[in-house]
Each structure stands twice: as structure tokens, then as C-alpha cells.
Amino acid sequence: MATITLSNVSKDYGGGPVLRGMDLEIREGEFVALMGPSGCGKSTLLRLIAGLEEPSGGEIRIDGRRVNEVAPKDRDLAMVFQSYALYPHMTVRENMSFALKQRRLPPAEIKAAVEAAASKLGLTGLLERKPKALSGGQRQRVAMGRAIVRNPKAFLFDEPLSNLDARLREQMRYEIRKLHRELGATSVYVTHDQVEAMTMADRIVALNDGAIQQVGSPQDLYDNPANLFVAGFLGSPPMNFLDATLAPEGALVVEGQTLAHVSPPAGLAAGTTLTLGLRPERLALTDPTEGTAVRVDVVETTGTGRVVHLALGPQRLKLFTMDPRPLAPGDVVGLVAPPGAPLLFDPVSGARLS
């Protein structure tokens, strides 16, 4: 178990910065998700921690020790790769023993460690097989097993579930989470999948364009996104963003209709245009006479409820509802945004205003 500290870490491959001045403290035993779209620098950051790349600037410390110049093999970190990177010429047992053999542990100890890890992951019957004789899910487990037998200072996961089908992914999400609870080891988990980040992490580090956008618990990021990027990245269906104008007394006007009320943020004059963020599940349907009148465009049934695509003039928004009232495209319905639902953003900088 370890703490990992990044101070002002940057990386530049020569074609402009990939990571810019990053500060991050990963606490002992914590499960941290590095989340962002592809190209945001999250994998690069993980590889810097692993030692597979060298930072162009700044400092990386593991348990207080500076590791910028330390080779990956001497950092005592375990990594699970997206491709699993199993040794194709070795059996599952040999794959899992490889790191322990490098440390010259006694064979009996290696055998015990490998078999304990295998039984934890349900790999006991597969120990003598080669990777090519395993299914995708089994290979994923071997990759996990190879990491846990080592009892490393920290686990690094590089999108480990992205090659699995949806069902297996959900199961492995649960198993990785359970393993983390049992082992209590510091874990850094790279993903572009907001559901993985939300469900698994103690804290999420939202990354975009090589910079940290926000760090916090999943619920915190969901409820209080710092900017448009974080607000739009988390949640499915994603948050609605509408062009709105602030009217006197905190009324938010969209396409000439008052959609919601907020207590007016300090320093914002009436007439300011801003971006109004509304989560689809925070909105409710009512009769057209009571709420803002909007037109139903498309209705999608999800089983738990319905996602209703609505048109408000030229602007579009989505609403998630479990309301059973009949809805058909073309219907005019009332829309209600309860107090607390609206989030306000600066349309130019994307920063949160309220």
C-alpha cells in the first residue's frame, strides 16, 4: 500500500504538451479513477506513474520517495493492460509466477501464492493452459491474477474491461471492486467509461486536454460539476445544455419561456446569457397548462422508464421519466424543472457560475 503524489507533472512528446502541470495526491488504499475521453492524457499519466514513460517536468513520488528516475521494475507496482499483455508462450501458472520468480522466492511459496490468487479469481482449473486456450474474460482474470500475486504497492489498471462484452464488464466491475475491498491496495484505474468511473472509484479525476478538470467523489462530481466538460461527461443520458438568459428575480428564460428559477448568483446582471444545465432525470412532466410547454419529439423506452426527447423551439432536450402518462411524438406537454435542478455555466469559458 502506498501513496502516490504528483507535483506539477508534465509530459511533452515534442508535438506540444500531452499533460500540463498536474498536481494530484492519491491516498493510501484509495481507488482512484482517471476518467476522460480518448486523447485526454489519462493513459499517459498512468504510464508515467508506472515508469514506462518519463515525465518532461515535475516530480512523481511513491510513499514520499522520488521515482522519476526509477525503472518500472524497481517501483513495485502491478499493471493490468487493456490488451492483458499475457505472455503467450507461458501457461497461466507461469504467467502468474513470472514476477515472483524474478524475486527468487522459494518455489513452494510461489506455488502457494499463485494457487491462492487463482482460487480467488476462479482460475484453479485453468492453471496449466496457455492464454490462447482461454476466453476473453478468463484472460482478463489471469491479468488480474498476475497483478495480485505480487502484493504490490499499488495497482494500475489501463482500461482493463474495454475488451469485454457488456455483461462480463459489469461482473468484472463488481469483482475488481470486491478485490479492492479485500486487498485494500491503492489502485489507479484509467477509463473512458463514466459508468465504470462512477461505480468503482472512491474518487474520480476528470481529465481533458491534458489537464485535470475536477477531482472528487463520484456523487460530488455528478451533483457539483466544476465545468461543462465534467457536467457533460457524467450521466446517461447526458445533461441537457440550453442557451438561456437570466431575467430579473432569477428567472431563466429559454426561447422566450421561463423554464426555471434560481436564486440569482452574485455578480450576474439580468440579461446575461448563459448555459443552463439540466439533468434529464431531475426534470418532470406535467400538463401543458402548468409547466413550460414543449413538444414531444421521440420517446425511447428503457424498461425502467422512458427517455423523452423534447423540442423547445429550435433547442432540444431529453427527460428521463417513470411517469406512465401516454406520450406520442407531436404531443405538447408541460415541463417542470424543480428548484435545485438548474446548473449555470459560463457559455464561453464553460466554468460553473452557480
Residues lying near other proteins in the complex (CB under 8 A): 50-52, 71-73, 77-79, 81, 83, 85-89, 98-99, 102-103, 128, 146, 150
Q: How far is the CB of 175 from other proteins (least distance, A)?
A: 21
Q: At how many degrees (to 10) do helices 107-121 and 92-102 cross?
A: 130
Q: Would you say 148 and 184 are in contact if contact means Cβ atoms under 8 Å apart?
A: no
Task: Pick between residue 186 and residue 292 the one whose CB is nearest to other proteins.
Answer: 186
Question: What is the rounded CA–CA span in Å between residue 234 and residue 221?
Answer: 8
Kindly tell me the sign of the dihedral angle through the C-alpha atoms of 319, 323, 329, 334. negative
Question: Cell 502506498 belongs to which residue?
Answer: 2
Q: How far is the CB of 337 from other proteins (least distance, A)?
A: 47
Q: How far is the CB of 283 from other proteins (least distance, A)?
A: 44
Task: Pick between residue 142 and residue 343 the one whose CB is nearest to other proteins.
Answer: 142
Count of residues in the chain: 354
Q: How far is the CB of 79 from other proteins (least distance, A)?
A: 5
Q: Would you say 231 and 225 are in contact if contact means Cβ atoms under 8 Å apart?
A: yes
Q: Would you say 179 and 144 are in contact if contact means Cβ atoms under 8 Å apart?
A: yes
Q: How far is the CB of 152 from other proteins (least distance, A)?
A: 9
Nearest to 186 by CA among 2, 24, 60, 51: 2
Q: How far is the CB of 123 from other proteins (least distance, A)?
A: 17
Task: Pick between residue 68 and residue 81 the one whose CB is nearest to other proteins.
Answer: 81
Task: Pick between residue 83 and residue 258 the one whose CB is nearest to other proteins.
Answer: 83
> What does the DSSP assignment read for 106-123?
-HHHHHHHHHHHHHHHT-
Question: What is the rounded CA–CA span in Å between residue 43 and residue 48?
Answer: 9
Q: How far is the CB of 181 from other proteins (least distance, A)?
A: 23
> What one-character DSSP code corresponds to residue 270?
T
Task: Pick between residue 72 and residue 334 the one whose CB is nearest to other proteins.
Answer: 72
Q: Count Cβ atoms below 10 Å from residue 258 Cβ, excluding itself.
A: 12
Task: Pick between residue 99 and residue 127 the one whose CB is nearest to other proteins.
Answer: 99
Q: Would you say 259 and 247 are in contact if contact means Cβ atoms under 8 Å apart?
A: no
Task: Pick between residue 85 and residue 327 the one whose CB is nearest to other proteins.
Answer: 85
